[in-house]
Structure 1
Amino acid sequence: MKSSRIPGFHPLSLGFALTGVAFVLGSCSLDPELGTVSSPVSANFPGNSGGEVPADIAWQKFFTDPRLEKIVATALANNRDLRVAALNVEQARAQYGISRSQLFPAVELGGSGVRQRTGGSSATGGKALETRAYDVSVGLVSYELDLFGRVRSMNTSALEGYFATDAARTGVQISLVAEVANQYLTERALQEQIELSRQTLDTFSETYTLMKGRYDAGDVSELDLRSVEVQVQTAKSNLASYRQQVAQVNNALAFLAGGSLPSGLPAGRSLDRALVADVRAGVSSDLLQRRPDIREAEHQLRAANANIGAARAAFFPRVTLTAGGGVASGSLSKLFSDGTGIWSFAPQVSVPIFDGGRNKANLESAEIGKRMEIARYEKAIQTGFREVADGLAARRGLAERIEANAALVKAQQTRFELADARYKEGLDSYFEVLSAQQDLYNAQQALIQLRLAREVNSVNLYKALGGGW
């Protein structure tokens, strides 16, 4: 260390000068070229057709049921998983700020004062000696000159990690919106099943009352009476089951919404009306910008690429600077007037010679990590492509099945009316009526489930295409 005294020294000039030198010298980067990762899917989705609106439509326009819109908005404001995801983003941003701070020198201001009294000696004629010393200094604390880009590579990795965390938060938002919508659609289907079961129960109950009167009069057998009674009890059991499921779904909606559902909600729509918009899939390359899981994987890949640069830089010398300057005086009142200027400058160079293979192993680990992230990135693309392709295939199939099942319900209704008329005319037994009525009920239930599947498929397809975020 070399020290000197400089009259009229300005303590901040050294720090600014060294900072400028660091930015001039710190221009080398050892990050490898990321290159282009080929998309392991075809350019177009198989059998892509249909759809009225683009897939990047906002969720407020995608849902056409006002009741569902309000529930989704409540969930986005209060859901705890979404809050944790948002806090993860804030934490990642803070961690990036910590990493970025290493690009700049840390400057500390310090001051001290010493007052000392020593006993008398022959040198002082037996008198006690009292001394005072004061100093104020500004110091540059162990600043690394980033000559080979190690610190900047670490900073890039932290920044890409922050971007990845933000993409993950968007993924949580999309998943939350889809889950709320699917639970709501299930609740709508269950309400329709309850109404259908109630109507069926009323019909069977009326029939049972009439049949009981005829049985008491000796016009019908006990077998006919008990057959109707079985249908009554079955309808009661179905009704109780659907009511239980509605209560559970409402609990799930309240949980997703972060508390109780808001009051004053508008009435919900039935499934025979479109509750969501019909989106277009577009081309597969759109997924690279829309799907948050793919964007997250891409940022993780970029972070892994930057880690290679930091691992490479560890093989090169590391230069750190420690410097300081200030004033010192034996009198506090004269510290800034007659004080003596002092400074110190202590550069340090460390060169890796032998580390037992640690740097080589770190570099190998970073390179393997990059290959792993490439594989994850490619898998994310493949997953997104498959989910969209499955959704498109289901959309086509469900449309055909709903059309066929609606025709089946109409045919079963006609069959039941004919069987009932023939029974009343004494041409057929009541078992024909029971069979026709049960088949009609099953067909009506199946139509409700198919309509639910169509709406759920639309929500999942919207999610698979990026959810409009």
Structure 2
Amino acid sequence: MIKPLKLSVAITAILTISACSLMPDYQRPEPNIAIANQSVESSTDVAELGWKDFYLDPKLDQLISIALANNQDLRVSSLTVEQLREQFRIQKAAKLPTVNAEGSVTRQRTPESLTGTGRSGITDTYSVGLGVSAWELDFFGRIDSLSESALQQFLASKSSRDSMQLTLIAQVADAWFSWLASDAQHQLSSETREARAESYQLIEKRFKSGLASELDVRQAETALHEARVLEAQYQQQANQNFTNLQLLVGQSLDKDEWKKDWYQIKTLRDIPANLTSDVLLKRPDVMQAEYNIKSANADIGAARAAFFPRISLTTSLGFGGTSFGQLGEASSRQWSIAPQFTLPLLDWGVNQANLNVAELQKDINIAQYQQVIQEAFKEVRDEMEARYTLDAQLQAQNDLTASTKRSLELAQYRFNAGIDSYLDVLDAQRSSINSELNQIDTRLLRLRNQLTLYKALGGGLYEETPSPSPQQK
């Protein structure tokens, strides 16, 4: 009696092993732009360069750590990844039979008219065993395709979470630099306001002594009010930048604890300007787009399998008897096998429509993949080209600042000597303060260029740079 069950198990194993897949062969789409290999020899892959090895300031490293721990968007994304991981496990488990322990006790009264003996009777029936209910034999790869689709969706969600982390780290660094830059500009405008207040008081005294005209007094007064307006503007900008930093970090911060002299900030680690297709393909957003293509590709396999018969198997094996003591006896063994198949005959085009939807979704994902690569290429290319022009711009701005400071010294000397009017001093002051403010802005642009290029090349996924494997050494 046990032989039919062994035979069914063997047949099931053969069908499972020999199950075919109707998924199309996957081939990565070629980028629709020409990416020239412009590589600089480097032992470190930027995508694997830890953010603590790139952002060299301990205060900034600490802020990034706090943001990664507190950011709710990142937490939601991480929980979504775990949710999709479990959904993949559920879908993967569908390929295997679910075995249940089964047991029942039935007590039944049979009336006299049915017993044949002229007397009613009560019958007890006991049974125990193991059962498999409606296990689908994945002969055409439908379940396998759905499992592959769930796996790719999980991987896509993980890449989405990684991309969000890269963006958050770059935003925190940018917000900290922006706050320190605007705070430095506020301090500079405050010093300018104090200097112009002293100049106004001095010129007013000279006017009262007959050594200066009223025009000089009014010009000095106008310059003082301009400095007050500028000071208030940069104070507001600094406050807004600090609020933005607190929002990204996810908690209140003490300004004095996180403030640092703008000119004492450590420069960011320079990174090689590698631009190859491999670099772009390692970006999390590009990887996410490719996983979406693979998921749609697997959905096509599941949609194709829907045109073929769906075969399922229900089996049970155990013992039964009219008394509990009979359970376990060889004579009380019982089993059943119930294979079933379903073949779609008339579905009014539903299966074909589902297949068309899956194929169109793949085409959509391919187009989105190409678009993501285009955006990645542009982002990297723009930052690579900007890094050289910003270096030249910063050097020129430094020279201009030194020149305007010297011009201010000479104008002040000539005014004190009575050679020039105070208007020449004001012009020199405006040139000097504007040059210093622009110098801070230009350095901020250079820092933003470095951190944006680091993010664009996929940097920021690791806290510390992974140690190279023995094969890589």
What TM-score comes out, normalization by structure 1 length?
0.90
Q: Distance in 2 between matches of 1:52 and 1:123?
A: 90
**Counterparts of 1:277-288 in structure 2 under 5 Å?**
277-288=269-280
Q: Distance in 2 between matches of 1:286 and 1:274?
A: 30
2:127 match: 135
Q: Distance in 2 between matches of 1:104 and 1:466?
A: 39
Deviations 1:374-401 (A, max 9, x none): 1111111111110011101211111111
Pick closer, same or farther for the CA change 1:101–1:62 going to 2, 3 Å.
Answer: same
2:439 match: 447
1:55 match: 46
2:381 match: 389
Q: Secondary structure at the match of 1:248?
A: helix
Query: Which of residues 3, 13, 16 is equivalent to 1:23?
Result: 16
Q: Distance in 1 between matches of 2:42 and 2:186?
A: 32
Return the offset for 1:422: 1.4
**Counterparts of 1:97-108 in structure 2 under 5 Å?**
97-108=89-100
Pick closer, same or farther for the CA change 1:376–1:100 going to 2, 3 Å.
Answer: same
2:251 match: 259
Pick closer, same or farther for the CA change 1:105–1:53 going to 2, 3 Å.
Answer: closer
Asked whether 1:400 is paired with 2:378, we answer no
Return the offset for 1:54: 5.0
Query: Which of residues 154, 159, 163 is equivalent to 1:167?
Result: 159
Please, which runs of 5 or more residues in structure 1 have no aligned partner? 1-5
Q: Secondary structure at the match of 1:432?
A: helix
Q: Secondary structure at the match of 1:64?
A: coil
Q: Distance in 2 between matches of 1:324 and 1:122?
A: 30
The residue type equivalent to 2:409 in the other structure is E
Q: Distance in 2 between matches of 1:443 and 1:238?
A: 14
Asked whether 1:224 is paired with 2:216, we answer yes
CA contact (8 A) 1:287 1:381 kept: no
Q: Secondary structure at the match of 1:92?
A: helix
Q: Secondary structure at the match of 2:46?
A: coil
1:207 match: 199
CA contact (8 A) 2:74 2:164 kept: yes
Query: Which of residues 170, 183, 197 is equivalent to 2:175?
Result: 183
2:467 match: none
Return the offset for 1:164: 0.7
Say which is worse superposed, 153-162 or 288-297, in terms of deviation: 288-297
**Counterparts of 1:89-168 in structure 2 under 5 Å?**
89-117=81-109, 129-168=121-160
Could you say what the CA RMSD is over the residues aligned between the two structures, in angstroms?
A: 2.8
Return the offset for 1:41: 2.5
Return the offset for 1:18: 6.2
Asked whether 1:413 is paired with 2:405, we answer yes
Q: Percent identity?
A: 37
1:79 match: 71
What TM-score comes out, normalization by structure 2 length?
0.89
Query: Which of residues 348, 353, 357 is equivalent to 1:361?
Result: 353
Pick closer, same or farther for the CA change 1:124–1:354 going to 2, 3 Å.
Answer: closer
CA contact (8 A) 1:45 1:385 kept: no
Please, which runs of 5 or more residues in structure 2 have no aligned partner? 462-473
Deviations 1:252-303 (A, max 9, x none): 2222222234899576352575531111121321334421001111111111
Asked whether 1:465 is paired with 2:452, we answer no
Number of equivalenced pairs: 460
CA contact (8 A) 2:280 2:377 kept: no
Pick closer, same or farther for the CA change 1:226–1:255 going to 2, 3 Å.
Answer: same
